[in-house]
């Protein structure tokens, strides 16, 4: 079964073709980062318009590069939420219209389910059950994954998501949007000589809170000479605090659930320091850690095509109406 995947939840137009037996056949990504960075963040209306411009050419390109015809596609998976309403509607309307024209099924995919299944596209995919840490620009979730669609929320951020904290702290350090990867680069030339707090680690539970770290960073920046070295040291200290906090909570989640596999996905899982710290912890626990390849940590069409393919193969599909949910809980999904 060939599944066309469409991702348009935020500022990336992602298209992919996944085959149920051959795996990922093709994927295309158009990032809007350059367009939004001049405004310091994503401008929803500009995002929607750019998705409209890019979506059909990218789909055509993806299908022609794989030497397939439109009639070879057996199903279409699209991100139906959570995300920006206008951006989601572009993907949903395009997917549903193509599926109707081609007389094939369409399936709505939860964006975070896409992220959590992204490591399934790798050579040694994790077997379920596992604990998943999803760290993106909009979410920080710790989930017990029993099976596709069977998700138990263990913990989440009570305020800023991990990626949001990176982006906001990056902005305070003078880095352009999105600041996550740039802050990580800046931290390479710094030392974490300053001690940032590890929020909510001194009490039981698996929830997170990252907004205090941004305020702590602001106060530290104001109290410093703001030299290049100071900025790098603050970036390193902030990054270390996020990595430590995530590591402490993931260790707790593994011990609490008795599971020995940890999947880490979402844009922030591209962070090398966080990867290293989490890997050290899982090694100590004799557990195994799984990440997507770097390009599939951030938003992409491949994870949506994969997730949709699993659901379509299980016989699920949407009616002719299309759906878009800017807010959508992960633990209410249909199980496979
Ligand atoms: O998953 P994603 O592409 O989009 C959402 O679903 O939100 O995640 C984007 C987030 C941004 O906040 C970005 O700054 C962050 O991931 N990010 C990073 C790194 N690469 C991307 N944060 C820290 N270190 C990185 N290397
Ligand atoms: Zn995402």
Count how many residues are written for the chain: 336
Q: Are 44 and 35 in contact (CB under 8 A)?
A: no
pLDDT value of position 103? 98
**Whether residues 142 and 263 fall in one domain:** yes
Q: What angle do CA 216, 175, 248 make, to 5 degrees?
A: 45
Q: Print pLDDT tens along the chain (336 aa).
A: 999 999 999 999 999 999 999 999 999 999 999 999 999 999 999 999 999 999 999 999 999 999 999 999 999 999 999 999 999 999 999 999 999 999 999 999 999 999 999 999 999 999 999 999 999 999 999 999 999 999 999 999 999 999 999 999 999 999 999 999 999 999 999 999 999 999 999 999 999 999 999 999 999 999 999 999 999 999 999 999 999 999 999 999 999 999 999 999 999 999 999 999 999 999 999 999 999 999 999 999 999 999 999 999 999 999 999 889 999 999 889 999
**Whether residues 182 and 268 fall in one domain:** yes
Ligand 2 center to 194 CA (angstroms): 31
CATH number of residue 17's parent domain: 3.30.420.40
H-run or E-run covering 21: none
> How far apart (Å, rounded) are the C-alpha atoms in residues 211 and 159?
6
Bridge partners, residue 262, by sequence: 131, 289
* Residues framing ligand 1 (Cβ under 6 A): 10, 136-138, 163, 166-167, 178-181, 184, 266-268, 270-271, 298-299
Ligand 1 center to 316 CA (angstroms): 30
Query: Which residue owns the Cα nearest ligand 1 atom 1?
Result: 267
**Whether residues 300 and 269 fall in one domain:** no
Ligand 1 binding pocket mutation candidate from 33, 118, 133, 166 (most atoms within 8 A of CB): 166
pLDDT value of position 227? 97
Ligand 1 binding pocket mutation candidate from 79, 163, 187, 273 (most atoms within 8 A of CB): 163
**Whether residues 243 and 283 fall in one domain:** yes
pLDDT value of position 322? 84
Ligand 1 center to 272 CA (angstroms): 12
> Which ligand neighbours the alpha carbon of 266 most closely?
1
DSSP sequence for 65-109? HTT--GGG--EEEEEEESS-HHHHHHHHHHHHHHHHHHT--EEEE
**Whether residues 57 and 73 fall in one domain:** yes
**Whether residues 145 and 233 fall in one domain:** yes
Closest ligand 1 atom, residue 162 Cα: 12
Closest ligand 1 atom, residue 266 Cα: 1
Ligand 1 center to 268 CA (angstroms): 4
> Which ligand neighbours the alpha carbon of 162 most closely?
1
**Whether residues 151 and 247 fall in one domain:** yes
- State if pTM tops 0.95: yes
The per-residue b/e assignment along 202-227, b for 16 or more CB within 10 angstroms, e otherwise, is: eeeebbbbbbbbbebbeebbeeeeee
pLDDT value of position 16? 98
Ramachandran region, residue 215 (left: φ > 0; alpha: ψ -120 to 50; beta: rest): alpha
pLDDT value of position 332? 87
**Whether residues 275 and 135 fall in one domain:** yes
Domain count of the chain? 2
Quote the domain boundaries for residue 8. Answer: 2-116+296-332
């Amino acid at each position: 079964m060939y599944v066309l995947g469409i991702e348009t939840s935020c500022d990336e137009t992602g298209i992919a073709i996944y085959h149920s037996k051959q795996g990922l056949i093709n994927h295309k990504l158009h990032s809007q980062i350059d367009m939004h960075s001049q405004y310091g963040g994503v401008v929803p209306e500009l995002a929607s318009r750019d998705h409209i411009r890019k979506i059909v050419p990218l789909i055509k390109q993806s299908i022609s590069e794989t030497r397939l015809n439109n009639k070879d596609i057996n199903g279409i998976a699209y991100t139906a939420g959570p995300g920006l309403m206008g951006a989601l509607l572009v993907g949903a309307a395009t997917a549903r219209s193509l599926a109707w024209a081609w007389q094939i099924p369409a399936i709505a995919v939860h964006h975070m389910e896409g992220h959590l299944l992204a490591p399934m596209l790798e050579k040694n995919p994790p077997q379920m059950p596992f604990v998943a840490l999803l760290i993106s620009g909009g979410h920080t979730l710790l989930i017990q994954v029993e099976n596709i669609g069977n998700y138990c929320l263990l913990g989440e951020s009570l305020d800023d998501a991990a990626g949001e904290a990176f982006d906001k702290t990056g902005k305070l350090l003078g880095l352009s949007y999105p600041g996550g990867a740039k802050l990580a680069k800046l931290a390479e030339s710094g030392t974490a000589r300053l001690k940032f707090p590890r929020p909510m680690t001194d009490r039981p539970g698996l929830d997170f809170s990252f907004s205090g770290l941004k305020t702590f960073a602001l106060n530290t920046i104001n109290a410093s000479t703001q030299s290049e070295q100071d900025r790098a040291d603050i970036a390193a200290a902030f990054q270390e605090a996020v990595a430590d906090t995530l590591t402490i909570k993931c260790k707790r989640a593994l011990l609490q659930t008795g599971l020995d596999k940890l999947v880490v996905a979402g844009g922030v899982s591209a962070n090398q320091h966080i990867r290293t710290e989490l890997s050290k912890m899982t090694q100590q626990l004799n557990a195994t850690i799984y990440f997507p390849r770097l390009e599939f940590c951030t938003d992409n069409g491949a994870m949506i095509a994969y997730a949709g393919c699993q659901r379509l193969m299980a016989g699920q599909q949407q009616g002719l109406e299309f759906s878009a949910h800017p807010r959508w809980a992960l633990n209410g999904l249909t199980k496979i």
